[in-house]
Homo-oligomer: A and B are copies of this chain.
Amino acid sequence: MARTDDRFRSAYNTLLDICGNMEVGEQLPAETVLANRMEVSRTIVRGALQKLDSENLVEWEGRRKTLIRKPEPSHRLTLADNPPSTEELEQQFLDWILRFDIPAGTSLNVAQLSRQFGVPAHSLQEFLSGLSRFGLVERRPKGGWILSGFTAGFAIELSEFRLVLEMNAVRHLLALPDDHEIWSKLRDLKQEHEELKTDLASRYHDFSMLDGKFHATVNGIVKNRFVVEAQKLISLIFHYHYMWDKRDELERNAAAIEEHLDWINAMLDRDVERSEAAALKHLRRSKETLLNSLKGHQLV
142-163 of chain A: CB within 8 A of chain B:
142, 154, 157-158, 160-161
The answer to the question of A261 belonging to the interface, with a C-beta cut-off of 8 Å to chain B, is: no
A142 contacts across to B, CB distance below 8 A: 39
What is the bound-complex CA distance between A158 and B39, given in angstroms?
A: 34
A129 contacts across to B, CB distance below 8 A: 126-127, 129-130
What is the bound-complex CA distance between A126 and B128, given in angstroms?
A: 9
Kindly report which residue of chain B lies nearest to residue A234, judged by CB atoms.
B226
Whether B126 pairs with A226 at a CB distance below 8 angstroms is: no
Kindly report which residue of chain B lies nearest to residue A7, judged by CB atoms.
B142
Q: How far is the CB of A41 from chain B (nearest CB, A)?
A: 8
A168 contacts across to B, CB distance below 8 A: 164
Q: How far is the CB of A4 from chain B (nearest CB, A)?
A: 12
172-230 of chain A: CB within 8 A of chain B:
223-227, 229-230
The answer to the question of A296 belonging to the interface, with a C-beta cut-off of 8 Å to chain B, is: no
Kindly supply a per-residue 1/0 record for chain A positions 102-132, scoring 1 wherever the CB is within 8 Å of any chain B CB and 0 otherwise: 0000000000000000000010011101101
What is the bound-complex CA distance between A225 and B164, given in angstroms?
A: 13
> What are 14 residue pairs bridging A and B, where the CB atoms are less than 8 Å apart in the complex?
A39-B142, A125-B126, A126-B126, A129-B129, A130-B130, A133-B133, A135-B226, A135-B229, A157-B223, A157-B224, A158-B226, A161-B224, A161-B227, A230-B230
Nearest 5 pairs of A and B residues by beta carbon: A126-B129, A161-B226, A135-B225, A157-B224, A164-B168
Interface residues of A (CB under 8 A from B): 39, 122, 125-127, 129-130, 132-135, 142, 154, 157-158, 160-161, 164-165, 168, 223-227, 229-230
Other A-B pairs, 20, CB within 8 Å; known A122-B125, A134-B225, A135-B225: A39-B142, A122-B122, A126-B126, A127-B129, A129-B129, A133-B133, A133-B229, A134-B226, A134-B229, A157-B223, A157-B224, A157-B225, A157-B226, A158-B226, A160-B224, A161-B224, A161-B227, A164-B165, A164-B168, A164-B227
